[in-house]
Every structure is written in structure tokens, then in C-alpha cells.
Chains A and B, each alone.
Chain A
Amino acid sequence: MFNFAFSSLHHFLIMDGHGIYVWPVYLVSILLISIGFQVTIRKLKALSKKIKDA
């Protein structure tokens, strides 16, 4: 169950030509979710600062 499914790292990235579909999907999703976290945290900090100053 825990055998590396590809013969080499190169194959892992290419995935028999399916890599160009698989990798962008994961990267874009990770990017979107982390932007979600980032933006919220930044806004939260700005807001806390504003309330403290007021």
C-alpha cells in the first residue's frame, strides 16, 4: 500500500502526460485556500489595531 507508485521522481512529475492536469489543479487550489487564510488574517490584524487605537 505504501509503495511509491512511480518509477522515478521525473515520472512522478509527468504522470504519463497527466501531470499537466493534476499539478495545476492542486497548486491553484492550495493557492486559493491560502489566499483565503492570508487575507482574513491580515484584515483581522488591521481591524484589531484600529479598534485598539480608537
Chain B
Amino acid sequence: MITSFIHRFSSPKSFVEVTARFFSYVMYLGLFLLATGWIWGLAFAPEDAIQGNSYRIIFLHVPASIFAQLIYFFMAVCALMHLVWRVKLAAYLIKSSAPVGALITFIALFSGSIWGIPTWGTWWQWDARITSTLILFIMYLGIITLHSSFSNAEKADRLMSILVVVGVVNIPIIKKSVDWWSTLHQPASITISEAPSIDLSMLYPLLISISGMGLTLIALGILISKLYIITREKTKKWVQNYV
């Protein structure tokens, strides 16, 4: 029963049609929130007592780091769906999320290392979180390369899903193992269990930037997956009617 339920709501056709309906809302809301969060953070949030103005990179760096990981977990869920229920759409979504993930992971790494220059005096450190983000970036590249190196796309889908699932098991292991090194990072600024250690006037723009970044990336993901679905299914009738 679950299988038939999933298959009914996961046809590539209905995905493209449904997402097209609210794509522009997602994108404009995302861009609006992102602009609000960043302008607030860059211009109106007070200066940090210790780090000075360079802390303002946080409004880009933290959202990027969060989504670098969230996108991978999303891909892992899709990979399981693809392997267990053979949902085609899930494989399409993995394939189209991977470049978004790679992009945002690169931004997280880049913004982090620039931020490191004024605060730590170095742009690179083999610190736990930087290293695990770098490994995450390699994992995204591996997934993209793996899929594009096979001419039989369905075979590539299956192999990619296997790799994604193995990779998601690896993420906590990487975290634990690199935690053994001394770590430079400040502890996470926002935690659910404890009261935030960050001032409210900085927290609000940060939260707004995170949600804005999320919506913007979802919009980008929708766009890329639409492109990919049409590429894959271009011989199907619904595509020819759709375009």
C-alpha cells in the first residue's frame, strides 16, 4: 500500500507540474528574506565585541554550512527511497541536488576560510568542522562524477544511491574522528536545547538569512531538477506536451 501511495505522488510529471505552480513564490520569498537578513546583518546588527566587523560573514557562512549538510541528508532520504521502492523521481532529485550541495558547500568553505584570516590569522586549519566540510565537498564531487561517468542512466541512478547511503553513514564517523583533533571553532551558535549564546539583534537577521538561503536553494533545486527531469524523459509524451 505504501508503495502504491509513493508511486502515485512521485511521478516526475506531477513533480514538475506541482513545483512549477509555486516556484516563483519560493524564489521571490527566498530572495526577499535573504536580502532582508543580509542587509539587516551587514548594516544594522551591532558590532561583535571580540571579532569586530568581520563576524558579519556569519550571515552567509552559517546558512551555507547548515544547508551543505541538510542537502546531503535530503539526498540520503531520496537514495533510500530509490533503493527500497525504486522511485525514479528520488534518483532525479539526488542527481539534481548534488550540484546545489556542492555549490553551497564550496561557499561554506570559501566564506569560512576568508573569515579565518582576520579571526584566526590563517585561512586554513585542519580543524574538525573545516575538515569534515571539505570531505563533504569531495563526497558531492564524487557523486556528480559517478553519475556522469555511466552512459546507462538507470544503472548510474542505482550506483549513485548506494554511494549516497554509504556516505551518510560516514558523516557522523568523520565528525567523531576529526573531533579528536583540537578544535578551533566556537561551539555552534544556535542550539535547540540551550539558550542561544548570541545576542538577539544578531540572532534575528541570522535566522532570517537561514530561511532565505533555504528557500533560495530550494528554488534553485526545483529549477535544476526540472531541467534534469525534462532531459531524462524527453522522449515521453507528457514532456512534449508540457514544453
Indicate if A touches B (C-beta under 8 A).
Answer: yes
Residues on A with C-beta less than 8 A from B107 are: 28-29, 32-33
| Contact sample, A vs B, 10 pairs, CB 8 Å cutoff | A4-B43, A15-B52, A22-B54, A26-B57, A29-B107, A29-B110, A33-B103, A36-B220, A44-B223, A51-B239
Residues on A close to B: CB < 8 A?
1-6, 12, 15-16, 18-19, 21-22, 24-26, 28-29, 32-33, 36-37, 40-41, 43-44, 47-48, 51-52
The residue of chain A having its C-beta at the shortest distance from the C-beta of B201 within the complex is A1
Q: In the bound complex, do residue B220 and residue A33 qualify as a contact, i.e. CB atoms below 8 Å apart?
A: yes
A-contacting 9-mer, from B81-89, B114-122, B138-146, B152-160: B114-122
* Inter-chain contact A22/B103, CB cutoff 8 Å: no
- Rounded to whole angstroms, the CA-CA distance of A1 and B46 in the bound complex is 8
Shortest distance between the CB of A26 and any CB in chain B (Å): 6
From 43 to 70 in chain B, residues with beta carbon under 8 angstroms from any chain A beta carbon are 43-47, 52-54, 56-57, 60-61, 64
The answer to whether A36 touches B103 (Cβ under 8 A) is yes
- Classify the interface of chain B: helix, strand, loop or mixed: helix
Does chain A have a CB within 8 A of B95? Answer: no
Q: A16-B52, A36-B100, A51-B243 are in contact. Are A25 and B60 (CB under 8 A)?
A: yes
A21 touches B43 (CB 8 A): no
Known: A5-B43, A5-B44, A33-B103. 4 other contacts (CB 8 A): A28-B107, A32-B106, A36-B99, A51-B230
Assembly CA distance A6 to B56 (angstroms): 13
Which of B38, B45, B220 is A40 in contact with, Cβ under 8 Å? Answer: B220
B residues contacting A by CB (< 8 A) are 38, 42-47, 52-54, 56-57, 60-61, 64, 99-100, 103, 106-107, 110-111, 114-115, 117-118, 200-201, 204, 216, 220, 223-224, 226-227, 230-231, 234, 239-240, 243
A43 touches B234 (CB 8 A): no
Q: Which of A6, A12, A21, A41 contacts B223 (CB 8 A)?
A: A41
Determine the distance from Cα of A28 to Cα of B104 in the docked complex, in whole angstroms.
12
Of all chain B residues, which has the CB nearest A46? B227
Q: Inside 8 A of A28's CB, which chain B residues have their CB?
A: 107, 110
Chain B residues within an 8 Å CB radius of A24: 114
| Cβ distance A10 to chain B, nearest Cβ, rounded Å | 13
* Chain B residues, Cβ within 8 Å of A5: 43-47
State which of A1, A3, A16, A47 has its C-beta within 8 Å of the C-beta of B227. Answer: A47
A4-B43, A15-B56 known; A48-B230 Cβ under 8 A: yes
Chain A minimum-CB-distance residue to B40: A2
What residues of A have a CB within 8 angstroms of the CB of B226 in the complex? 44
B21 to chain A, nearest CB (A): 17
